[in-house]
């Protein structure tokens, strides 16, 4: 078993115009073991993407206090590619388009960069695996030959993030609003892909705005984030409770100022 642990994490961003630092995360604690599925829900602008970008190592996010560890070892000093080699994967809320590298080339490079020199994936097994996963996700082969995310619709980008996830097989995946912009059919397909990943060697953190995704991917724990803090943790029923009360209702219940 592996453990991704976030302890008392405080993160600031720099306001370019005012040249000031603003604290976004105000002490986040979270422990995810392989084999577990966690969900973070919360209103817009509370720091969910900040948390995922910080865990993955985006240098725009300044850690002022606390730690992020994998199996007890801090990863905060490590660049993104090293974190990836340690088993982290982030499906970004807004995946970037990259010209000059095809989707398939990107995935093969991503897989091989995580493997030892004498253990590189053969083209044959790569293509076999790709073919299988494309079918699961109802994608076309043609999409893998296009430049990364270029000309993909919002929904295709989200599917493509899950294709990468299935090909790369990380230890921990953070899925940031993987459900946004998906119709119900696409949502089911994406959920099936994520569910196929389930194993004792894989842990997921799903970030979502809506309870809907959790009808298809069942979390062991649900965390609610508000204003840079996790204010409540519970089982899957917390998501339903939230759907009924709304974030405002929970705010009242917990006595948090709006
Ligand atoms: P969420 O994902 O919960 O909607 P975000 O983490 O994206 O929230 O944003 C939280 C706050 O941090 C927002 O006020 C947002 O404007 C600010 N923020 C996030 N990233 C940056 C950045 N790179 N530079 C400046 N401000 C940022
Ligand atoms: Mg947002
Ligand atoms: Mg976000």
Q: What secondary structure does DSSP assign to the chain, as a single string?
A: --EEEEEEEEEEEEETTTTEEEEEEEEEEEEEETT-EEEEE--TTSSHHHHHHHHHT-TTSEEEEEEEEETTEE-TTS-HHHHHHTTEEEE-SSPPPEEEEEHHHHHHHHHHHTS-GGGPPPHHHHHHHHHHHHHHTT--HHHHTSEETTT--HHHHHHHHHHHHHHH--SEEEEESTTTT--HHHHHHHHHHHHHH-STT-EEEEEES-GGGGGTS--SEEEEEETTEEEEEE-THHHHHHHHHHHHHHHHHHT---
Distance 5 CA to ligand 1 centre (A): 22
> For atom 21 of ligand 1, which residue has the closest CA?
13
**Is there an atom of ligand 1 within 6 Å of 46 CB?**
yes
Whole-structure pTM value: 0.93
Distance CA 231, CA 250 (A): 9
> For atom 20 of ligand 1, which residue has the closest CA?
50
- Average the pLDDT over 117-130 and give the result: 95
Specify the fold of 3-96+171-254: Rossmann fold (3.40.50)
pLDDT for 258 equals 61
Higher-pLDDT residue of 127, 181: 127
Does ipTM surpass 0.85 in this model? yes
Distance 234 CA to ligand 1 centre (A): 25
Distance of CA 102 to the CA centre of its chain: 22
Is a pLDDT exceeding 90 seen at residue 181? no
**Is there an atom of ligand 1 within 6 Å of 158 CB?**
no
**Is there an atom of ligand 1 within 6 Å of 45 CB?**
yes
In ligand 1, which atom is closest to the CA atom of 225? 3
**Is there an atom of ligand 1 within 6 Å of 47 CB?**
yes
pLDDT for 154 equals 86
From the CA of 42, the nearest ligand is: 1
pLDDT for 150 equals 87
pLDDT band at 23 (very low <50, low <70, confident <90, very high): very high
pLDDT for 118 equals 94
Is a pLDDT exceeding 90 seen at residue 257? no
pLDDT band at 18 (very low <50, low <70, confident <90, very high): confident
From the CA of 93, the nearest ligand is: 3
The answer to whether the beta carbons of residues 251 and 229 sit under 8 Å apart is no
- Average the pLDDT over 70-88 and give the result: 96
Is a pLDDT exceeding 90 seen at residue 198? yes
> Between helices 103-113 and 123-136, what is the axis angle to 10°?
120
């Amino acid at each position: 078993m592996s453990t991704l642990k976030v302890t008392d994490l405080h993160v600031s961003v720099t306001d370019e115009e005012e040249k000031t630092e603003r604290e976004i995360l105000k002490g986040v604690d979270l422990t995810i073991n392989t084999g577990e599925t966690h969900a973070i829900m919360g209103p817009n602008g509370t720091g969910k993407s900040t948390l995922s970008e910080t865990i993955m190592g985006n240098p725009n996010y300044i850690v002022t206090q606390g730690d992020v560890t994998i199996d007890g070892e801090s990863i905060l000093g490590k660049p993104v590619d090293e974190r990836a080699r340690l088993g982290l994967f982030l499906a970004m809320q807004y995946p970037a388009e990259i010209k000059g590298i095809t989707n398939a080339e990107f995935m093969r490079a991503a897989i091989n960069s995580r493997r030892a020199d004498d253990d590189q994936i053969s083209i044959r097994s790569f293509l076999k695996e790709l073919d299988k996963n494309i079918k699961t996700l109802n994608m076309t082969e043609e999409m893998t030959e296009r430049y990364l995310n270029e000309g993909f619709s919002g929904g295709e980008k989200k599917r493509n993030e899950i294709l990468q996830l299935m090909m790369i097989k990380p230890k921990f995946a953070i899925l940031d609003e993987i459900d946004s912009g998906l119709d119900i059919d696409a949502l089911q397909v994406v959920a099936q892909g994520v569910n196929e990943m389930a194993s004792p060697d894989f842990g997921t953190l799903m970030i979502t705005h809506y309870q809907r995704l959790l009808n298809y991917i069942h979390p062991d724990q649900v965390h609610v984030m508000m204003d840079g803090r996790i204010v409540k943790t519970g089982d899957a029923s917390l998501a339903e409770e939230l759907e009924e009360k709304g974030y405002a209702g929970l705010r009242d219940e917990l006595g948090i100022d709006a």
